[in-house]
A and B are shown apart, each in its own frame.
Chain A
Amino acid sequence: MGSRAYLLITLVFYAAGALHALLHALLRRSALTTVSLIATLLGFAFHTAALSQRWTEAGHFPAVGLRDGACFLGWAIVLVFLLVHVTTRVEAASLFAYPFVFGLVFVANLTPDTGRADPVLRSLYLPVHLLLAVFGYGALFAAFSMGVLYLFQERELLTRSPRRFYYLIPSLERSDTIGGRSVLGGFGFLTLAIVTGFLWNHSLHGRYWTGDPKEWTALVAWGIYVGILVARWRWGWGGRRAAWLAIAGFAVVVFTFGWATLVPAVAVAAR
């Protein structure tokens, strides 16, 4: 079976898991059920198979181009989600992860392969660097999610009349703690990702810094991490302030990434 077939099966399992979770969240106030968890695990197994199959097919670690990129990102998010689930048991995390992963794998299924096979991509730096980077950014996404949950729960508590979300979302303290830990872990991963990125650059171009948009994004994200960490552990910022900080930090990173990748592309197209 080719990687395409595996990816299609993956999508079916993820869709089943996401749908089951969604229906349960709407009907029964539990966002994660055994059924959806099993579907996700099966989907993840096929996803991993698709990834390794694709690695063989492409001859390099499949993370370049829209199809492979989306496929890999989705895989990494499921991995992060499963880790978060095992360590924290926050059911509401599935509300963020499921739709996102489904969208990514859906896109990956629709997109044709890019026939590019740059020998540069054969480097083992690629998977190592990418995995570190995904964990680094993924943790920021987790902190962002926890920030949103925090503000949501706070609003629910302030309105004094609980609605559906009140029952699903973890306590303020818990969102805050998990958000804080995500930032700390993410900082570590991103630092390592940046270091491996520099080393890879050096082995390719003989320079550590090449001015690539991704480098700027990483630097901005790293700065934001430092900022959040300082605010939290130096000035004692917790709760809503930390939540807003995580949300703003994530937004800035997304914006920088979009700006840094799109603007050069537009410039190229205009030429």
Chain B
Amino acid sequence: MIVVVGVNHETAPVAVREALAFPKHELGQALERVRKDAGLGEAMILSTCNRVEVYGRSEKPAVRSVAEFLARYHGRPPQEIEKHLYCLEGETAVRHAFRVAASLDSMVLGESQILGQVRGAYEAAERAGSLGSVLNGLRARSIAAAKRARSETAIGRNAVSVSHVAVELANKIFGQLHGRCVLLVGAGKMSELAARQMVRRGARASVLGGRTFDKAEELAASLGGRAAPFEALRAELARADVVISGTGAPGVVVLREDVEAAQEARHGRPLFLIDIAVPRDIAEDAGRVKGVFLYDIDDLQKVATANLRERKKESTAAEAIVEHEVREFLEWRRSLEIVPLVVELRRRADEIRRAEIDKARHRLGPLTPEQESALEAATSAIVNKLLHAPTVRLKELAGHGQADHVGLVRRLFDL
């Protein structure tokens, strides 16, 4: 049976998640210990900032001992973490594993990091030698399902963080950012984040510095661009395609006249102004100049919210895909459960067959090789033909979740 025991951003505050987190370098020994302590045949630990989860396979009920292991490993009293834990078994555990990989259980719905984290966790478990056929099956199927959900629905499309929205809007205007100029006015943390993403997509950066020119130069160097004094604003505006403004100035820094002058020099080519400063840096009416798109921090936030709403709508379709894949996985698992029974049944039949052949040989005396092989072939054919239909039916029934026939078959054949 597959079990999942853990905490996530919904069930536990950050303090608890921190306390239960597993650092990467400890994963190997933690996996070893959880397998020993909780008697797990296979184990995997997924530890990210939003969740800590132990995945396992065990023959007997194991969630309690896994929960105890979590408390003991991190030196916490069990009752302290108990109320934050979810302990899942069987079908619910499988469904949870699939939903986590598909980012349907994430804080930011559809975020793309989780799939990489899940992959990493399975790889670490593989290195520690704690993966077997069951968790490996779960790994392959849940990752495939997550990819399907991402590619067939829009759950992961469209940015939901402010800096990503800025990049995406720039893409909506310029198609691609390769070779475009990004102008930073002021060297704030947030503008740096957005600019860095644009530079990664091939944009060139320049930084305007005021009194703290050193800082501007430093930032420009780290972005692989150049710094310019604030007095060069108009010339730089004329050259830029995207402007990210985030100074701490108390008043307006970029006037409508500056933008108008720049637009004149640019033949009305689009200019994307992003004002993430509060109070705002760019005059509001600059957004009315032809060819200029002005977004302030609220506008970006609004787009992010709208995108998140779109993702939520998509999540129903993604859930349906995941549910379908979960069903298939469970069917596959159940059809495997039947394998030992079938093997045993065949073995038993073969035993009987051999015993009867020996008896016959005894009575018949020495046989020619032709007679030997005819006897062998005839008895094998009888056994195979008799067992063919029951084998097929058993696999079918197991696939449909009717594994309770196993007991009956055992009793019928005295296995």
Residues of A near any B CB (own CB < 8 A) = 28-30, 153, 157-158, 160-162, 166-167, 170-174, 177, 236-241
A237: min CB distance to chain B, Å: 8
CB distance B154 to A173 under 8 Å? no
**Which B250-292 residues sit within 8 Å CB-CB of chain A?**
267-270, 287, 290-291
Bound-state CA distance A29–B313 (Å) is 11
User: Which residue of chain B is the closest to A30 with respect to CB atoms?
Assistant: B154
19 CB < 8 A contacts A-B: A28-B317, A29-B310, A157-B169, A157-B173, A160-B299, A160-B302, A161-B299, A161-B306, A170-B175, A171-B173, A171-B175, A172-B172, A172-B174, A173-B174, A173-B176, A236-B267, A239-B268, A239-B270, A240-B291
With A161-B302, A238-B268 already in contact, 20 other A-B pairs whose C-beta atoms are closer than 8 Å: A28-B154, A29-B154, A157-B169, A157-B293, A161-B306, A162-B303, A162-B307, A166-B172, A167-B154, A167-B157, A167-B310, A171-B173, A171-B175, A173-B176, A174-B175, A236-B267, A238-B269, A239-B269, A239-B270, A240-B290
User: Which residue of chain B is the closest to A153 with respect to CB atoms?
Assistant: B172
Query: Chain B contacts of A241 at CB under 8 A?
Result: 268
Bound-state CA distance A236–B269 (Å) is 10
Query: Chain B contacts of A170 at CB under 8 A?
Result: 175
User: Which residue of chain B is the closest to A241 with respect to CB atoms?
Assistant: B268
CB distance A160 to B303 under 8 Å? yes
User: Which residue of chain B is the closest to A159 with respect to CB atoms?
Assistant: B299
B286: min CB distance to chain A, Å: 13
**How many of B's residues come within 8 Å of A, CB to CB?**
28
Bound-state CA distance A166–B314 (Å) is 16
B97: min CB distance to chain A, Å: 26
CB distance A171 to B268 under 8 Å? no
Query: Chain B contacts of A158 at CB under 8 A?
Result: 287, 293
The 3 A-B residue pairs with the shortest CB-CB distance in the complex, in nearest-first order: A173-B175, A171-B175, A160-B299
Bound-state CA distance A158–B295 (Å) is 9
User: Which residue of chain A is the closest to B303 with respect to CB atoms?
Assistant: A162
Query: Chain A contacts of B153 at CB under 8 A?
Result: 28
Bound-state CA distance A19–B293 (Å) is 35
Query: Chain A contacts of B291 at CB under 8 A?
Result: 239-240
Cβ of B117 < 8 Å from any Cβ of A? no
B152: min CB distance to chain A, Å: 9
Cβ of B197 < 8 Å from any Cβ of A? no
Cβ of B158 < 8 Å from any Cβ of A? yes
Cβ of B171 < 8 Å from any Cβ of A? yes
CB distance A172 to B290 under 8 Å? no
User: What is the 8 Å Cβ interface bit string for chain B, positions 100-125, against chain A (1 contact, 0 not)?
Assistant: 00000000000000000000000000
A158, A160, A166, A238 — which one has the most chain B CB atoms within 10 A of its CB?
A160
User: Which residue of chain B is the closest to A161 with respect to CB atoms?
Assistant: B302
Bound-state CA distance A238–B299 (Å) is 27
Bound-state CA distance A172–B173 (Å) is 5
User: Which residue of chain A is the closest to B287 with respect to CB atoms?
Assistant: A158
Query: Chain B contacts of A173 at CB under 8 A?
Result: 173-176, 270
CB distance A171 to B172 under 8 Å? yes
CB distance A162 to B306 under 8 Å? yes
Bound-state CA distance A177–B173 (Å) is 12
Bound-state CA distance A240–B171 (Å) is 17
CB distance A161 to B303 under 8 Å? yes
User: Which residue of chain A is the closest to B288 with respect to CB atoms?
Assistant: A158
**Which B298-327 residues sit within 8 Å CB-CB of chain A?**
299, 302-303, 306-307, 310, 314, 317
Bound-state CA distance A172–B310 (Å) is 22
Query: Chain B contacts of A29 at CB under 8 A?
Result: 154, 157, 310
CB distance B171 to A171 under 8 Å? yes
A99: min CB distance to chain B, Å: 24
CB distance A172 to B303 under 8 Å? no
Query: Chain A contacts of B171 at CB under 8 A?
Result: 171
B207: min CB distance to chain A, Å: 25
User: Which residue of chain B is the closest to A175 with respect to CB atoms?
Assistant: B175
With beta carbons under 8 angstroms apart, the residue of A28, A160, A172 that contacts B270 is A172
Bound-state CA distance A167–B311 (Å) is 12
User: Which residue of chain B is the closest to A164 with respect to CB atoms?
Assistant: B310
User: Which residue of chain B is the closest to A174 with respect to CB atoms?
Assistant: B175
Query: Chain A contacts of B295 at CB under 8 A?
Result: 160
Query: Chain B contacts of A236 at CB under 8 A?
Result: 267
CB distance B174 to A171 under 8 Å? yes
B327: min CB distance to chain A, Å: 23
Bound-state CA distance A206–B213 (Å) is 78
B294: min CB distance to chain A, Å: 9
Bound-state CA distance A238–B291 (Å) is 11
Bound-state CA distance A153–B303 (Å) is 15
**Which B141-177 residues sit within 8 Å CB-CB of chain A?**
153-154, 157-158, 169, 171-176
Query: Chain B contacts of A237 at CB under 8 A?
Result: 267
B403: min CB distance to chain A, Å: 38
Query: Chain A contacts of B307 at CB under 8 A?
Result: 162
A158, A172, A236, A240 — which one has the most chain B CB atoms within 10 A of its CB?
A172
User: What is the 8 Å Cβ interface bit string for chain B, positions 395-406, against chain A (1 contact, 0 not)?
Assistant: 000000000000
A266: min CB distance to chain B, Å: 42
CB distance B268 to A240 under 8 Å? yes
Query: Chain B contacts of A238 at CB under 8 A?
Result: 267-269
CB distance B175 to A172 under 8 Å? yes
Query: Chain A contacts of B310 at CB under 8 A?
Result: 29, 167
Query: Chain B contacts of A171 at CB under 8 A?
Result: 171-175
CB distance A157 to B269 under 8 Å? no
A241: min CB distance to chain B, Å: 7
With beta carbons under 8 angstroms apart, the residue of B172, B267, B268, B306 that contacts A157 is B172
Bound-state CA distance A30–B157 (Å) is 11
B389: min CB distance to chain A, Å: 40
Bound-state CA distance A209–B45 (Å) is 82
A52: min CB distance to chain B, Å: 38
Bound-state CA distance A28–B155 (Å) is 10
**Which B218-274 residues sit within 8 Å CB-CB of chain A?**
267-270
